[in-house]
Amino acid sequence: MMDASAWEGLLAWWPWALLSAAAFGAGVLNAIAGGGSFLTLPALVFTGVPPIAANATSALAVSPGYLGSVWGFRAELGALDRRLLQREAWVSAIGGVGGALLLLVTPAKVFSGLVPWLLLFATLLFALGPRLAHMSRRVGHDGAETAGLARWRTPGLLLVSVYGGYFNGGLGILLMALYTLTGEARIHTANALKNYNSFVLSLLSVVAFAVAGAIVWPQAMVMMVCATFGGVAGARLAKRLPVAWVRALVIGIGLAMTVLFFLRG
């Protein structure tokens, strides 16, 4: 049997093991289809970090994973128009900073009550994304099928970026839903854009969090390293897994985390 000192050592290390595993898993999930913050945010809250600080720390923790994922999808990004990437980077940056500033003025009690509803909204939108995209398609005058919501891509990206700066949970899911709804049929290209814009808006929003002193740095530094390795691994895995498996995994995690946060009250 373990003596008292051994138990104390185990109890001291389990939060760090949980945070490391959650961050690595978040990097993998974000590279595949989004939803990584469904792991990091609950892990931080469960280990005693207050909700707003947990959200800010989670945003920083997963941001290097986005960079690793961008590297993994560099071929898909390289095939896109550079002007498109620059425009979307600016939109993401503006929205991310706006959302971060909004979070910093939100009372902690209000934010805690919003968390499960935000998680549920993100998960349901991702689950319904393909069906909504099919409903939004129409046949043009030349007989070609086009996305009826394509013109909403830029304003939609701005709104999603504000959401991502405010609440990082489900950001990747919303971006994947946005690109699906606005006509991006290539799953790997949508993934590449999702990771690219997630990195940009997360980077700007965490700068705002850092200036405001909302980040718990020891946890953030450990999780950043683990999320980076997870992002690289996830980018490789994303190109091998069937799309249906990826979607089912993210939806399942989103629903599980939603239930847990509702049960916590």
Residue 216 φ then ψ, to 5°: -90, 105
Question: Structure tokens of 55?
Answer: 């959200």
Q: Which parts of 73-107 fold into alpha helices (H)?
A: 74-78, 82-104
pLDDT above 80 for 72: no
Q: Which residues contact 123 (CB under 8 A, 6 or more apart)?
A: 170, 173, 251, 254, 255, 258
Q: Collapsing DSSP states into helix, strand and coil, what is residue 5?
A: helix
pLDDT above 90 for 67: no
Q: Write down the domain spans for the chain.
A: 19-264
Question: Structure tokens of 104?
Answer: 């910093």
pLDDT above 70 for 56: yes
| pLDDT tens sequence across 30-44 | 777 667 787 888 899
Mean pLDDT of the chain: 80
User: Are β-strands 137-139 and 145-147 bridged in parallel, bridged antiparallel, or unpaired?
Assistant: antiparallel
Rounded to whole angstroms, the Cα distance separating 71 from 212 reads 30
- Residue 147 parent element (H or E): strand 145-147
Give yes or no for a contact between 195 and 73, defined as CB atoms under 8 angstroms apart.
yes
| Residue in the block written with tokens 């138990």 | 7
Rounded to 5°, angle at Cα 19 from 236 and 108? 115
- Residue 239 parent element (H or E): none
Distances (CA, A) of 18 to 15, 76, 165: 5, 33, 25
* Range picked from 50-59, 69-78, 255-264 for highest mean pLDDT: 50-59
pTM beyond 0.85: the answer is: no
pLDDT of residue 195: 82
Give yes or no for a contact between 43 and 18, defined as CB atoms under 8 angstroms apart.
yes
Name the nearest CA neighbour of 179 among 153, 204, 160: 153
| pLDDT tens sequence across 203-256 | 889 899 999 999 999 999 999 999 888 888 887 777 677 767 777 877 887 788
| Residue in the block written with tokens 């490391």 | 20
| pLDDT tens sequence across 105-135 | 988 788 888 878 887 887 887 777 667 656 5
pLDDT above 70 for 5: no
pLDDT of residue 231: 80
Q: Which residues contact 194 (CB under 8 A, 6 or more apart)?
A: 34, 172, 175, 176, 179
Burial bucket for residue 189 (CB in 10 Å: 0-12, 13-18, 19+): middle
pLDDT of residue 148: 57
